[in-house]
Amino acid sequence: MSWLVTGGAGYIGSHVVRAFREAGIAPVVVDDLSSGVASFVPDDVPFLRASILDTEAVTAFLREHKVEGVVHLAGFKYAGVSVTRPLHTYEQNVTGTVHLLQAMEAAGVEQMVFSSSAATFGTPDVDLVTEQTPTAPESPYGESKLIGEWILRDAERAYGLRHTSLRYFNVVGSGSPELFDTSPHNLFPLVFEALFHGRTPKIFGDDYATPDGTCVRDYVHVQDLATSHVAAARRLAAGEPVERVYNLGSGHGASVREIMDAIRDVTGIDFTPEVQPRRPGDPARIVATGELAARDLDWVMRHDLRAMVASAWEARQAAGDAYPN
């Protein structure tokens, strides 16, 4: 028996794949490589290059590898870009999830760990977000993730799907030097790419209602995140109770300027970031408690901010000119 990781060639997905292997659970991967990197998938892990919209191919793959559960990470993950590409976002994240569930139903797979997002909350009016905080997404991306959660609940009522949704906050760092964040929109890779090529990093907006005017986010290490996916899968497989939604947050926020300071310290490169206008879809502050996940999913902050920056910078340096531009 095995677990399928959709988007397993991506930054987060590849860490989840390795976490499953280390836990003694056989992973298999589906990824269309629209943003993933083929070399991120270990050579001995079965890999289907296909879109989750290809129900027939995914169904056959599930059956071939006797998959018992799915970690669903595949999707279009760029909140800001989703504002100008809403239809593409909904096709990949909503229609794609429907097709995947159809494939799972056809293959008799009844367990899913779903990659959701802090973007479902929009801009909360509380200092610390919990699972009970009202959702109010401000981008098509956030909306698509919330719809994904609803779809899973409907599938549970209709045919007994066992599931849980993990709402990620800002995922950074690296658990292995050969794995790095390839996003052209996330803060860490944007700053590292600028520094690597001798350019000045940018801050998008310094007029938010925060202590230093820049966005405040809850940063969590990708390896800690991956570990909790394994814990969620194990609880589902064992028939143990799970919450429908868990926040994977640290309970502490850091501003963009604070991140810039940490990067300057870790890299030893002195720079003064250039301030640019705000990006659409970016809330001022979002920080969450991870108490429920700590109770059920082995959710522990094993890395501080400096360790997050250092591991991410090491991976970027190791990539060298092989980093996708």
Give the tens place of pLDDT for each residue, 110-132. 999 999 999 999 988 898 999 99
Name the residue with tokens 């006797």: 66
Indicate whether 324 pLDDT > 80: no
CA distances to 188, 191, 219, 292 from 272, rounded to whole Å, are: 16, 11, 22, 39
Query: pLDDT tens-digit profile of 48-104?
Result: 999 999 999 999 999 999 999 999 999 999 988 999 999 999 999 999 999 999 999
Q: Name the nearest CA neighbour of 180 among 169, 192, 168.
A: 192
Which residues lie across from 245 on neighbouring strands? 165
Can you give the three-state secondary structure of 14-68, one letter per residue? HHHHHHHHHCCCCEEEEECCCCCCHHHCCCCCCEEECCCCCHHHHHHHHHHCCEE
- pLDDT band, residue 280 (cuts 50/70/90): confident
Average model confidence (pLDDT) across the chain: 95
Parallel/antiparallel/unpaired status of strands 216-217 and 285-286: parallel
Residues 232, 242 contacting (CB under 8 angstroms): yes
Query: 108: helix, coil or strand?
Result: coil
pLDDT score, position 322: 62
Amino acid in position 192:
F
- φ, ψ of residue 282 in degrees (nearest 5): -95, 110
Q: How far is CA 182 from CA 16, 23, 221, in A?
A: 16, 26, 15
- Lowest-confidence range among 145-154, 261-270, 274-283? 274-283
Written as six digits, the tokens of 30 are 């589906």
pLDDT above 90 for 197: no
Residue 113 backbone phi and psi in degrees, to 5: -105, 115
Token pair, residue 220, equals: 């969590």
Confidence band for 319, pLDDT divided at 50, 70 and 90: confident
Token couple for 285: 């502050």
pLDDT in tens, 245-259: 999 999 999 999 999
Percentage of residues of the chain with pLDDT beyond 70: 98
Q: Which of 303, 297, 285 is nearest to 246 (CA)?
A: 297
CB 247 within 8 A of CB 130: yes
Q: How far is CA 51 from the centre of its chain?
A: 18
**If you average pLDDT over residues 5-15, what whole number do you get?**
98
- H-helix segments, 200-255: 222-237
Mean pLDDT value of segment 171-199: 92
What CATH superfamily is the domain 2-171+219-248? Answer: NAD(P)-binding Rossmann-like Domain (3.40.50.720)
Neighbouring C-beta atoms of residue 151, cutoff 10 Å:
18
Given a contact cutoff of 8 angstroms between Cβ atoms, the answer to whether 250 and 171 are in contact is no
Instruction: Decide if 141 is catalytic.
Output: yes
d(CA 135, CA 140): 13
Q: Rounded to two decimals, what is the model's pTM?
A: 0.94
Q: Which of 11, 78, 90, 141 is catalytic?
A: 141
Model confidence at 196, pLDDT cuts 50, 70, 90, reads: confident
Q: Give the position of tokens 């009202």.
A: 134
Does position 281 have pLDDT exceeding 60, yes or no? Answer: yes
Q: Which of 299, 261, 7 is nearest to 169 (CA)?
A: 299
Q: Which architecture, in CATH terms, is 187-217+251-322?
A: Alpha-Beta Complex (3.90)
Determine the Cα–Cα distance for residues 216 and 255; give it in Å rounded to an integer.
Answer: 4
DSSP annotation of 204: E
Give the residue from 76, 322, 50, 51 showing the smallest Cα distance to 179. 322
Q: What are the boundaries of each domain within the chain? A: 2-171+219-248, 187-217+251-322
